Structure 1
Amino acid sequence: MDVEDQEERELQLLLPKPSNKPALEIPKSSEMKTVIIPSDSPPLDLNLSISVSPVQSTTGEEVKSSIRNIQILKQHTTEQIRLAAVEKAYAERVRELTRREMELAEKEFARARMVWERAREEVEKAERMKELATKKVGATCMEITCQACRQRFRP
């Protein structure tokens, strides 16, 4: 016997033989928890178990304590909502005051710009008047003549 024949026999022994029976028979009764497996295949433990924890009974004191805790939680929630509403109203008031201050600042800035424009115009006007005065003085100075020598005055 060679090694290949021996391995082939071992495989045949390990593998289930084909049969005409269905591989698994599912019980029709809902009370049965085990599944029947053909005898020529290895046994499997397919028992199912369902565990249900017992319902704990509560006493009257536990119920009252739970109700009191719920009432305290409701009061706390109500207080939080009230505080949030107060903070929201305060934020809206601050936002309104800030908006008004911005409007006033914009108006004040526009007034300051107008004052600056007027001042700049006044400075330009004064510079033009200075130039005209300088020209007139220069022209007047040219007309001044010395009494002793009768020559024109040169600045």
Structure 2
Amino acid sequence: MEEEDQRALQLLLPTSVCLRSDTKKSSIENDASNHLLVDLNLSMGFSGLDSSYDESNRCTKRKEELQQQAAEQIRVATAENAYAERMRELTRRELELAERDFARARAIWERAKEEMAKVERMKESATRRINSTCLEMTCYNCHQRFRP
């Protein structure tokens, strides 16, 4: 029974606190130290697995974050590209409208120029007719020709 009590104490208390005789103590301490080493090794091994799992988990999370950032950048770049394309299309249409307006203005200017030339010819013609009519006019009193 005493041995059972000592084993129970050994399990409950650290090895330095266990109450044993010197002969039993050395053999039990060796068993306990071996037991602690095994626990430490297992703990370290498990900890290593845990840390590698955590590291792998962090790498996976970081990879997912980078993929999300890349997807967001692609989405933004696509939206900017679509906006730039739309602006190019609107600018092209405005340029075409401006070219048409300029062509219309040039045509109107050409017609106005032709009409001015026609008006000048009519003015010259009218001036000649008036001059010839004026030359035919004579004063009733003095019977001299009228000169403008």
TM-score of the pair, normalised by structure 2: 0.64
The sequence identity of aligned pairs, in percent, is: 56
Which residue is equivalent to 1:81? 74
Distance 1:99 1:151 in 2: 73
Letter in 2 for 1:108: D
Matches within 5 A, 1:12-31: none
Secondary structure (helix, strand or coil) at the match of 2:94 reads helix
Structure 2: runs of 5+ lacking an equivalent? 1-47
1:141 to 118, 134, 139: 134
Q: What is the alpha-carbon distance in structure 1 between the residues aligned to residue 106 and residue 142 of structure 2? A: 57
Counterpart among 111, 114, 124 of residue 107 in structure 2: 114
Deviations 1:79-103 (A, max 9, x none): 0011111111111111111111111
Per-residue deviation, 1:59: 2.3
Higher helix share: 2
Q: Measure, in 2, the Cα distance between the counterparts of 1:125 and 1:151.
A: 35
Query: Which residue of the partner structure matches residue 102 of structure 1?
Result: 95
CA shift digits 1:85-142 (9 cap, x unpaired): 1111111111111111111111111111111111111111111111111111111111
In the alignment of these two chains, the number of paired residues is 99
- AA paired with 2:140? Q
Per the alignment, residue 19 of structure 2 pairs with none
- In the alignment, the residues of structure 2 paired with residue 109 and residue 81 of structure 1 have an alpha-carbon distance, to the nearest angstrom, of 41
1:153 paired with 2:111, answer no
